[in-house]
Amino acid sequence: MTMASTSSSGRPVLGFLTRRREGGQWHWTDVFTYVYLVLGVLLMFGPVVWLVLSSFKTPAGLLEFPPTLLPLGQIEVQVEGYDDPLPLFAVTMEDGTVKELAQIRRIGIMAQMVDPENPGERVSVPINTREPIREMRVATENYIDPLETFNFLRYLQNSVIVTVVATVITLLINSMAAYGLAIYDFKGRNAIMLFVIGTLMIPVTIVLVPTYLVVTQLGMVNTLWAVILPGAATPTGVFLLRQYMLTIPKDLIEAARMDKASEWTIYWRIVLPLSLPAIAVLAIFSVMWRWNDFLWPLVVLTRNEVYTLQIGLNAFQGELDVQWHYVLAMTVVTLIPVVLVFAFLQRFITTGIASSGMK
């Protein structure tokens, strides 16, 4: 600790990044630790970085091989007589001059090119004599187009409604169930708890059809309630909150009873505030579950205007054609709330998980 503090006084960041065991010498465990940590960062953070960078690439830039890390895109030009824009290449001609030509198609090792200035004339060149002309271009239209033309703002709004309302309902009813199972001592309490936890073993796919039938009977198909209500009571949530509430001293509950508090007051003003760390953990889980939920919304939401983001994303995945640039950009959008939730509430996650005995 002293070592770290002295070195950090001079160059804070470097001092922090090259912290070592005591003594200041590079021990092999220091090296091992750093290699391990760097590998971990690459493994976990690499895909996310790649996703964000790629979401700013043009469709052509995405298809390029070998792939580039930065959003470099080959320039495409509109040539008279061709419907689609054609990629632009710098071609070294036989006489040594370099010309900018657009490629019509590639046949084996030859490429058929056309001069954008002179669309009537076609030339065939070997593919190794041409070099793609690239530019650094941030394709913000990947974000703007879906948000404007594909109704993505609507999807975003639906997702936010589902997540917020479902999380509030989940927290409320799960904590009430947990209160009953933690504070009251009655016959069969453990049996009920076991039963609740037992439902964890039933996979979602098995109850999919029965739940769908219930939801249909209630006339909730194609409303957001169909997504919100069926998953509101979670065994994980009840278990997590109950285990935490068991740690609240019984004296506090009894003191509140002596203080003329009704059961609701005890729940609302004593137990709930004291369970805040566990509630935060469940809130984080619930937000992630609801935001990323795919299968159930796919089943009950069939009309475009009630789509959530995840279902909307799926719409970009046509049978023949996947619009990767949109998929990537909208994936980044869907990631933002989860990242924010983690950034602000992460200290609750560790304390809450540690104190509620959940792994």
> Which residues make up the interface to other proteins (CB under 8 A)?
249, 251-252, 254-262, 265, 269-270, 273-274
Q: Which lies closer to other proteins via its Cβ, residue 72 or residue 274?
A: 274
- Minimum CB separation of residue 356 from other proteins in Å reads 17
Q: How far is CA 74 from the centre of its chain?
A: 29
User: In the bound complex, what is the minimum distance in angstroms from residue 246's beta carbon to other proteins?
Assistant: 16
Q: Which two tokens stand for residue 313?
A: 């994303």
Q: Which is nearer to other proteins, 244 or 307 (CB)?
A: 244
Report the distance separating Cα 303 and Cα 247, nearest Å: 46
Tokens 């109704």 belong to 151
Sign of the dihedral through C-alpha 20, 23, 24, 26: negative
Task: Let me know: does 91 contact 129? Beta carbons within 8 Å.
Answer: yes
Nearest to 312 by CA among 338, 284, 333: 333
Q: CA-to-CA distance for 327 and 317, rounded, in angstroms? A: 8
CB 77 within 8 A of CB 102: yes
As measured in angstroms, the least distance from the Cβ of 256 to other proteins is 7
Kindly tell me which of 152 and 244 has the beta carbon lying closer to other proteins: 244
Based on CB atoms, which residue is closest to other proteins, 27 or 257?
Answer: 257
Q: Is residue 162 helix, strand or coil?
A: helix
Alpha helix (H) residue ranges in the chain: 2-10, 12-17, 28-54, 59-63, 141-149, 152-183, 189-198, 204-217, 225-228, 235-245, 250-258, 263-265, 272-274, 276-292, 295-300, 309-315, 324-356
**Closer Cβ to other proteins, 188 or 203, answer by number:** 188
Q: Shortest gap between Cβ of 183 and other proteins (angstroms)?
A: 13
Closer residue to other proteins in complex, CB, 283/332: 283
Shortest separation between residue 265's beta carbon and other proteins, angstroms? 6
Q: Nearer Cβ to other proteins, position 52 or 261?
A: 261
Nearest approach, Cβ of 270 to other proteins (angstroms)?
6
Instruction: Tell me how far, at minimum, the Cβ of 189 lies from other proteins, in Å.
Output: 16
Instruction: Report the C-alpha gap between 248 and 234 in whole angstroms.
Output: 22
